[in-house]
Amino acid sequence: MPTPDADHDHEHGHAGHDHGVSADADRRWLGVALGLISAFMLGEVVVGLLARSLALLSDAAHMLTDAGAIVLALIAMRLAARKPKGGFTYGLKRAEILSAQANGLTMLLLGAWLAYEAVRRLIHPPEVAGGLVLVTALVGVVVNVAAAWAMSRANRSSLNVEGAFQHVLNDLYAFIATAIAGVVMVTTGFTRADPIATLIVVALMVKAGLGLIRDSGRIFLEAAPAGFDPAALGAELVALDEVVEVHDLHVWLITSGQPALSAHVLVVPRSDCHAVRGRIEDLLQTRHRITHSTLQVDHAGPDDLAEHCDDAHGLAYRAEPGRPG
């Protein structure tokens, strides 16, 4: 009679760093970026009001979301570092993904408001102090380069950190567009350059926001990691010696950079279930960097599916008929 054999590999991959010293370093770098952005943002609001520049005010508003994104990232990092307890068997690791999704949504909402204001100013352009816009934008470029550099030193394999980084990087592009608009206004007096620069910023924000929502949504829906083909993996597993069938194969991300896998594996009668499981775990770790796996390995029999999986999920991958066991 087949004997169920379930096993858990408890080596969790952290794709980039373990919690500890480098996690503290991440927080320090994010703190540096937060200080730079917050200080400049306050000054930019004042200059934007004086210059009557929507581009500067939109940049300041975007910098406010930058600051909020970094604060969310810092909070999420603290939550994710807590040990699992109670009903939260993975801990609060997915707080990072919530943070990334919140960043993406704020970028889309802010982009919609800025697009509306930009179109309104294209139709009825106000007077804009181009000189103030140009100088402030150039200073903003320097500040955002410094902030982006600081954040690039943190672990960007985390979708949470990447979300905050995308905010800052988009703000850098925004200041470059605003500086170009300032040059145009100073040299030609064409004040519509200000809302045109804003629309360029909006396009960048929408692109980054949709990317963050897509990537975080894949994790919440427990889809396979981007670029990973579960069907190819299923075929690879049943090609191993003594493996007859693989079903209930699931691959997902616990959080950024932490893939997990579970599967039910049927092997030929009288084979060594433990040895087969060991070969599968070695393949998963060395070829696919999946270090957290849960495998149920049983001997194959005529009624295995009915006995073990009354409600099997997904495709079943079977060895080629006649292949030597």
Q: Residue 203, Cβ neighbours under 10 Å: how many?
A: 14
Arithmetic mean of pLDDT, 47-72: 78
If asked whether residues 128 and 159 sit together in one domain, one would say yes
If asked whether residues 192 and 54 sit together in one domain, one would say yes
Q: Residue 89, Cβ neighbours under 10 Å: how many?
A: 7
CATH of the domain at 305: 3.30.300.30
Examine residue 288 and state whether it is found in any structural domain, yes or no.
yes
If asked whether residues 292 and 161 sit together in one domain, one would say no
Evaluated on CA atoms 94, 95, 97, 98, the torsion sign reads positive
CA angle in degrees (0–180, nearest 5) for 75-139-151: 30
Evaluated on CA atoms 272, 277, 280, 282, the torsion sign reads negative
Examine residue 282 and state whether it is found in any structural domain, yes or no.
yes
CATH of the domain at 214: 1.20.1510.10
User: What Cα–Cα distance (Å) separates residue 42 from each residue in 48, 196, 197, 204, 250?
Assistant: 10, 24, 21, 23, 48
Least confidently predicted of 52-66, 90-104, 181-195, 294-308: 294-308
User: What pLDDT is stored for residue 119 in this prediction?
Assistant: 92
Question: Which of 220, 252, 283 is a domain's end point?
Answer: 220
If asked whether residues 101 and 215 sit together in one domain, one would say yes
If asked whether residues 209 and 231 sit together in one domain, one would say no
Domain of 159 in residue numbering reads as 21-220
The answer to whether residue 22 scores a pLDDT higher than 70 is no
Residues with Cβ < 8 Å from 37, sequence gap 6 or more?
63, 66, 67, 70, 143, 144, 147, 168, 171
> 139 is written with which tokens?
């200073």
**d(C-alpha 135, C-alpha 23), whole Å:** 37
The answer to whether residue 302 scores a pLDDT higher than 90 is no
User: What pLDDT is stored for residue 254 in this prediction?
Assistant: 86
User: What pLDDT is stored for residue 16 in this prediction?
Assistant: 38
> 168 is written with which tokens?
């800052």
If asked whether residues 156 and 74 sit together in one domain, one would say yes
Helices (H) and strands (E) in the chain, counts: 9, 5
If asked whether residues 99 and 200 sit together in one domain, one would say yes
Residue-wise pLDDT tens digits, 220-236:
999 998 888 999 999 99
Q: How many angstroms from the chain centroid is the CA of residue 89?
A: 21
If asked whether residues 55 and 168 sit together in one domain, one would say yes
Residue 29 contacts residue 151 (beta carbons within 8 Å): yes
Examine residue 240 and state whether it is found in any structural domain, yes or no.
yes
If asked whether residues 92 and 110 sit together in one domain, one would say yes
Smallest CA-to-CA distance from 165 within 141, 180, 145, 179 is with 145
Q: β-strands 6-8, 243-253: how paired?
A: unpaired
Question: Which of 220, 241, 257 is a domain's end point?
Answer: 220
Q: How many domains does the chain have?
A: 2
Residue-wise pLDDT tens digits, 130-162:
888 888 889 989 998 998 888 888 776 677 677
Question: Which of 220, 236, 255 is a domain's end point?
Answer: 220
Residue-wise pLDDT tens digits, 243-288:
999 999 999 998 877 899 999 999 998 889 999 999 999 999 999 9
Residue 90 contacts residue 254 (beta carbons within 8 Å): yes
Examine residue 9 and state whether it is found in any structural domain, yes or no.
no
Arithmetic mean of pLDDT, 177-205: 86
The answer to whether residue 323 scores a pLDDT higher than 80 is no
If asked whether residues 202 and 233 sit together in one domain, one would say no
If asked whether residues 114 and 255 sit together in one domain, one would say no
Examine residue 324 and state whether it is found in any structural domain, yes or no.
no
List phi, psi (to 5°) of 81.
Answer: -80, -10
If asked whether residues 89 and 181 sit together in one domain, one would say yes
Residue 118 contacts residue 199 (beta carbons within 8 Å): yes
Indicate left, alpha or beta for 23 from its phi (over 0: left) and psi (-120 to 50: alpha): alpha
User: What pLDDT is stored for residue 160 in this prediction?
Assistant: 67
Examine residue 131 and state whether it is found in any structural domain, yes or no.
yes
Examine residue 15 and state whether it is found in any structural domain, yes or no.
no
**d(C-alpha 223, C-alpha 293), whole Å:** 16
User: What pLDDT is stored for residue 29 in this prediction?
Assistant: 83
User: What pLDDT is stored for residue 79 in this prediction?
Assistant: 79
Residue 88 is given by DSSP the state B
Share of the chain above pLDDT 90, in %: 22
Residue 68 contacts residue 37 (beta carbons within 8 Å): no
Arithmetic mean of pLDDT, 51-56: 78
User: What pLDDT is stored for residue 162 in this prediction?
Assistant: 78
Examine residue 325 and state whether it is found in any structural domain, yes or no.
no
User: What pLDDT is stored for residue 309 in this prediction?
Assistant: 60
At 102, the pLDDT band (50, 70, 90 cuts) reads confident
